[in-house]
Structure 1
Amino acid sequence: MSSNQQPLASQPNGLFNRALDGIERVGNKLPDPAMLFLILMFSVWVISALLSGINFEAIDPRTNSPIVVNNLLSADALTQFLTSMVTTFTAFAPLGVVLVAMLGVGVAEQSGYINTALKQMLKITPIKFLTPAVVIVGIISHTATDAGYVVVIPLAGVIFFTVGRHPLAGIAAAFAGVSGGFCANFIPSGIDPLLQSFTQSAAQIVDPDIQVNPLNNWFFAASSCIPITLVIWYLTDKILEPRLKKTHEVKAEEVDLPKMEQVTLQELKAFKIASSVMLLAIVGFFSLTIPETSTLRDNNGSLTSFSAPLMQSIVPLIFIFFMLPGLVYGYLTGAYKTSADVVQAMSKAMSGMSHYIVMAFFCAQFVAAFSASNLGALIAIEGAGGLKALNLAPEVTVIGMIFLVGFVNLFVGSSSAKWALIGPVLVPMLMQLNISPDLSQAAYRVGDSSSNIITPLMPYFPLVVVYCQRYVKGIGIGTLISMMLPFSLALLSVWSVWLLIYWSIGLPLGLGSSYVY
Structure 2
Amino acid sequence: MDNQTDASGKKSALQRFLDFIEVAGNKLPDPAALFFILLLIVWFLSLVLAPFDFGEVDPRTGEALRVQSQLTGVQLAAFLAGMVNTFVTFAPLGIVLVAILGVGLAENSGYINVALKKLLGVTPKALLTPMLILVAIVSHTAADAGYVLVIPLGAVIFYAAGRHPLAGIAAAFAGVSGGFSANFVPSGIDPLLMGFTQSAAQIFDPNIQLNPLNNIFFTGLSSFLIVGVGWYITDKIVEPRLQGVEVDADEEDLPKLESVSPKESRAFWAATFAMFAAIAVLVVWAIPEDSALRGPDMANPDQMSLVSFSAPLMQMIVPLIFIFFALPGIVYGYMSGTFTKSKDVIDSMSQAMGTMAYYMVMAFFCALFIDAFAESNIGILIALKGANFLQELQLPGAVTIVGIILLTAFVNLLVGSASAKWALIAPIFVPMLMGLGISPDLTQAAYRVGDSVSNIITPLLPYFPLVVVFCQKYVKSTGIGTLVSMMLPYFFIFLVTWTIFLLAYWAIGIPLGLQASFVYPAP
TM-score of the pair, normalised by structure 2: 0.67
Matches within 5 A, 1:107-506: 107-125=105-123, 130-137=125-132, 140=135, 144-145=149-150, 147-148=152-153, 150-157=155-162, 177-183=171-177, 226-231=224-229, 260-299=257-296, 300=302, 301-391=304-394, 393=399, 395-400=401-406, 420=416, 428-429=424-425, 432-434=428-430, 440=447, 443-449=450-456, 493-497=496-500, 505=510
1:58 corresponds to which of 27, 45, 56? 56
- Matched residues, number: 436
Is the contact made by 2:133 and 2:230 (CA closer than 8 Å) also made in structure 1? no
Task: Please give the secondary structure, in 2, of the residue aligned with 1:337.
Answer: coil
1:69-89: per-residue Cα shift (whole Å, max 9, x none)?
A: 222211111111111111111
- Which structure 2 residue ranges, 5 or more long, are not aligned? 137-145, 201-212, 245-254, 297-301, 431-439, 460-466, 515-519
Alignment partners' CA distance in 2, 1:185 and 1:110: 30
Structure 2 vs 1, CA of residues 283 and 229 (structure 1 numbering), >3 Å: closer, same or farther?
same
Alignment partners' CA distance in 2, 1:291 and 1:5: 56
Alignment partners' CA distance in 2, 1:81 and 1:450: 28
Is the contact made by 2:50 and 2:67 (CA closer than 8 Å) also made in structure 1? yes
Is the contact made by 1:138 and 1:174 (CA closer than 8 Å) also made in structure 2? no
Deviation of the 1:391 alpha carbon? 3.8
Is the contact made by 2:67 and 2:377 (CA closer than 8 Å) also made in structure 1? yes
Structure 2 vs 1, CA of residues 422 and 275 (structure 1 numbering), >3 Å: closer, same or farther?
closer
Is the contact made by 2:155 and 2:166 (CA closer than 8 Å) also made in structure 1? no
Deviation of the 1:499 alpha carbon? 6.0
Is the contact made by 2:418 and 2:451 (CA closer than 8 Å) also made in structure 1? no
**One-letter amino acid of the structure 1 residue matched with residue 95 of structure 2:** V
Structure 2 vs 1, CA of residues 425 and 390 (structure 1 numbering), >3 Å: closer, same or farther?
farther
Is the contact made by 2:230 and 2:490 (CA closer than 8 Å) also made in structure 1? yes
1:4-27: per-residue Cα shift (whole Å, max 9, x none)?
A: 999735443775554344323321
- Which structure 1 residue ranges, 5 or more long, are not aligned? 158-166, 208-214, 249-257, 409-417, 467-476, 510-515
TM-score of the pair, normalised by structure 1: 0.68
CA RMSD of aligned residues (A): 4.9
**One-letter amino acid of the structure 2 residue matched with residue 181 of structure 1:** G
Paired position in structure 1 for 2:32: 34
Structure 2 vs 1, CA of residues 84 and 501 (structure 1 numbering), >3 Å: closer, same or farther?
farther
Is the contact made by 2:54 and 2:65 (CA closer than 8 Å) also made in structure 1? yes
Task: Please give the secondary structure, in 2, of the residue aligned with 1:357.
Answer: helix
Alignment partners' CA distance in 2, 1:404 and 1:61: 20
Deviation of the 1:106 alpha carbon? 0.9
Deviation of the 1:349 alpha carbon? 1.7
Identity of aligned residues (%): 39
Deviation of the 1:65 alpha carbon? 2.2
**One-letter amino acid of the structure 1 residue matched with residue 90 of structure 2:** F
Matches within 5 A, 1:55-134: 55-125=53-123, 130-134=125-129
Deviation of the 1:38 alpha carbon? 1.5
